């Protein structure tokens, strides 16, 4: 067993190696570093063409350790029960020009990669956590999506424009969510800003209206188990579960709405776009089987609304095991992908969100498709032609999908290396779990007791996604992130 004081360092070395193996760049080149050193903070006061919205009580809500702040939100009550919601996204395109060395690195990786031991940002920290981050008490340029909702969450009007904004409070999901749900005190950062508490409650109400409307239209209710490593200095002590709350739902619902408005804004101006789609599930037949195993009947043809009704019933009836069902459905739905859309061209849409128009636009510090979308939006706002043609967008969409898949595999592999560290002393023990993958390349199980996934290397015959099984831990390989189980038959 290795020295515990060197565990984080070892995981960092593994992460760097796996990044390279997956064709991703773990480090910034000397050219990128030199280019960043020449950048200066934008002079916001000189942006005369932008609206000045700095006086609004904007705030950011993000993870506890996030420093690359992409979005701010604020709301206002209107007559007749309507609510005006504004979402501001950091103007990253202002400093990251197409064709620069910085852009070349971002275009190659296409995303920030978050591993158990180290973050590999898409943009250098001086940009993503400083110059292009919507940091607390800093004036920044932003792209604002301005929407008016009725008291049922229906969109009544919208606009997209450039504005000067100021973050008045840097909030976290955990503390803000607990306060909104009545299980924790008001965070000091909220109490210190006059009017922010009431504004957040208004935002929460509007977000819940959006959520109810989306789910009534067939957006899927899913609840997965997410975990993050817990270190004490260099020693890995365990995996901590992360759960959704009202604050994460607030941001999620506002971002979905803003992304839809953004892509429709581009379409209305005859601009091409990169869209995010989840196609009709190829394994709908297995989803039907899973529902039948729970005593429910789904139609033979894919039907998002019918699936949503089934999920809602299951969450009420079996709240403890619902995350396991959610994971099964997510695996069977298949991954999302980026596709290019020419003006007027039909598109499949996003099956899981039950929306036709969807893109990624609200995280340009962390995702390259969002930066591409931002450049397209800014071109429309300034009267310039589209910076990409449809063929270029098609190639970029394919590349972003491929690199996102590579980044996900890096995160999973390093996460499994961390899990292997925790399990290396438990070889020979038995665990209950759920099958998360079953294909020619292997059968996979996630344990109930510990949020860890591994491969069933013996006795996997006949197992399929969604089935429960008991397994015995037979071996781990920390360096390669292998966790191997043998099926235990009763």
The CA–CA distances, whole Å, from 261 to 48, 152, 356 equal 25, 18, 11
Residue given tokens 């009836």 in the structure block: 317
- Residue 271 vs residue 348, higher pLDDT: 271
Q: Which residues have a Cβ under 8 Å from the Cβ of 384 and sit 6 or more positions away?
A: none
Decide if pLDDT at 218 tops 80: no
Decide if pLDDT at 474 tops 70: yes
Q: Residue 321's pLDDT is what?
A: 72
Instruction: List beta partners, residue 104.
Output: none
The fraction of the chain above a pLDDT of 70, given in percent, is: 95
Residue 157 corresponds to which tokens in the numbers above? 């009007």
Mean pLDDT of the chain: 89
Task: Tell me the per-residue pLDDT of 142-153, one tens digit each, with 9 for 90 and over.
Answer: 999 999 999 999
Strand pairing class (235-242; 60-62): unpaired
The fraction of the chain above a pLDDT of 90, given in percent, is: 61
Average pLDDT over residues 423-445: 87
Residue 351: pLDDT band with limits 50, 70, 90: low
Q: Which residues have a Cβ under 8 Å from the Cβ of 250 and sit 6 or more positions away?
A: 61, 73, 180, 203, 204, 207
Instruction: List beta partners, residue 355.
Output: 350
Residue 485: pLDDT band with limits 50, 70, 90: very high
Burial label, 75 (beta-carbon count in 10 A; 0-12, 13-18, 19+): buried
Q: Residue 46's pLDDT is what?
A: 59
CATH of domain 427-488: 2.40.50.140
What is the spatial distance between Cα 34 and Cα 152, in angstroms, rounded to a whole number?
51
Task: Tell me the per-residue pLDDT of 108-119, one tens digit each, with 9 for 90 and over.
Answer: 999 999 998 889
Q: Residue 225's pLDDT is what?
A: 66
Strand pairing class (113-114; 119-120): antiparallel
Helix (H, G, I), strand (E, B) or coil at 400: helix
Residue 320: pLDDT band with limits 50, 70, 90: low
N-term to C-term CA, the chain: 32
What percent of the residues of the chain are helix, what percent strand, and what percent coil, each to the nearest 5?
40, 25, 35
Average pLDDT over residues 386-404: 95
What is the spatial distance between Cα 246 and Cα 177, in angstroms, rounded to a whole number?
5
Is residue 139 within 8 Å of residue 56, measured between CB atoms?
no
What is the spatial distance between Cα 58 and Cα 72, in angstroms, rounded to a whole number?
6
- Residue 215 vs residue 105, higher pLDDT: 105
Decide if pLDDT at 40 tops 90: no
Q: Residue 402's pLDDT is what?
A: 95
Average pLDDT over residues 357-365: 90
Decide if pLDDT at 159 tops 60: yes
Q: Residue 47's pLDDT is what?
A: 64
Decide if pLDDT at 400 tops 50: yes
Q: Residue 429's pLDDT is what?
A: 92
Task: Tell me the per-residue pLDDT of 435-472, one tens digit each, with 9 for 90 and over.
Answer: 888 777 889 898 888 888 899 998 888 888 788 899 99
Q: Which residues have a Cβ under 8 Å from the Cβ of 173 and sit 6 or more positions away?
A: 61, 62, 63, 64, 245, 247, 248, 251
Task: Tell me the per-residue pLDDT of 265-290, one tens digit each, with 9 for 90 and over.
Answer: 999 999 999 998 877 777 888 889 98
Q: Residue 4's pLDDT is what?
A: 59
CATH 2.40.50.140 in the chain is located at: 427-488
Q: Residue 1's pLDDT is what?
A: 45
Decide if pLDDT at 334 tops 50: yes
- Residue 66 vs residue 184, higher pLDDT: 184
Q: Which residues have a Cβ under 8 Å from the Cβ of 216 and sit 6 or more positions away?
A: none
Decide if pLDDT at 240 tops 60: yes
Average pLDDT over residues 354-377: 90
Decide if pLDDT at 391 tops 80: yes
| H helices, E strands: number in the chain | 13, 18
Average pLDDT over residues 336-352: 80
Q: Residue 354's pLDDT is what?
A: 61
- Cα angle 172, 351, 311 (rounded to 5 degrees) comes to 75
What is the spatial distance between Cα 271 and Cα 160, in angstroms, rounded to a whole number?
14
């Amino acid at each position: 067993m290795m020295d515990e004081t060197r565990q984080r360092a070892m995981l960092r070395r593994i992460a760097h190696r796996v990044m390279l193996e997956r064709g991703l760049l773990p480090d910034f080149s000397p050219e990128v570093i030199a280019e960043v050193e020449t950048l200066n903070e934008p002079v916001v006061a000189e942006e005369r063409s932008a609206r000045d919205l700095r006086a609004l009580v904007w705030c950011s809500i993000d993870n506890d350790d996030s420093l690359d702040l992409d979005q701010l939100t604020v709301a206002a009550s209107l007559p007749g029960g309507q609510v005006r919601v504004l979402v501001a996204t950091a103007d990253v395109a202002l400093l990251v020009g197409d064709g620069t060395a910085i852009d070349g690195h971002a275009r190659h990786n296409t995303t920030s990669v978050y591993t158990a031991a180290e973050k590999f940002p898409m943009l250098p920290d001086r940009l993503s956590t400083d110059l292009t981050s919507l940091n607390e008490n800093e004036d920044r340029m932003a792209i604002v999506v301005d929407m008016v909702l009725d008291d049922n969450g229906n969109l009544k009007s919208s606009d997209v424009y450039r504005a000067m904004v100021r973050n008045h409070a840097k909030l976290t999901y955990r503390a803000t969510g607990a306060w909104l749900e009545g299980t924790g005190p008001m965070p000091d950062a909220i109490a210190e800003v006059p009017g922010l508490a009431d504004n957040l409650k208004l935002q929460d109400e509007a977000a819940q209206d959006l959520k109810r409307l989306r789910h009534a239209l067939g957006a899927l209710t899913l609840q997965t188990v997410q975990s993050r490593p817990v270190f004490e200095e260099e020693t890995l002590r365990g995996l901590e579960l992360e759960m959704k709350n009202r604050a994460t739902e607030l941001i999620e619902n506002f971002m979905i709405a803003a992304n839809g408005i953004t892509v429709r804004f581009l379409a209305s101006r005859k601009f091409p776009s990169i869209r995010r789609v989840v196609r009709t599930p190829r394994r709908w037949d297995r989803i039907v089987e899973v529902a039948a195993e729970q005593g429910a009947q789904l139609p033979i043809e894919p039907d998002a609304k019918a699936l949503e009704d089934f999920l809602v019933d299951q969450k009420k009836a079996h709240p403890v095991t619902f995350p396991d069902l959610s994971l099964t459905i997510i695996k069977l739905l298949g991954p999302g992908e980026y596709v290019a859309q020419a003006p007027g061209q039909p598109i499949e849409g996003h099956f899981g969100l039950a929306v036709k128009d969807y893109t990624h636009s609200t995280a340009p510090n962390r995702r390259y498709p969002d930066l591409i979308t931002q450049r397209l939006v800014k071109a429309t706002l300034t009267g310039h032609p589209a910076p990409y043609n449809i063929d270029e967008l098609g190639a970029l969409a394919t590349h972003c999908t491929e690199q996102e898949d590579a980044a996900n595999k890096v995160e999973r592999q390093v996460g499994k290396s961390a899990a292997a560290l925790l399990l290396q002393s438990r070889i020979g023990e038995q665990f209950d779990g759920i099958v998360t993958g079953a294909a020619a390349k292997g059968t996979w199980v996630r344990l109930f007791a510990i949020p860890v996934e591994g491969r069933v290397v013996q006795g996997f015959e006949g197992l399929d996604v969604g089935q429960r099984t008991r397994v015995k831990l037979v071996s781990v390989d920390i360096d390669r992130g292998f966790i191997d189980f043998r099926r235990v038959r009763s």
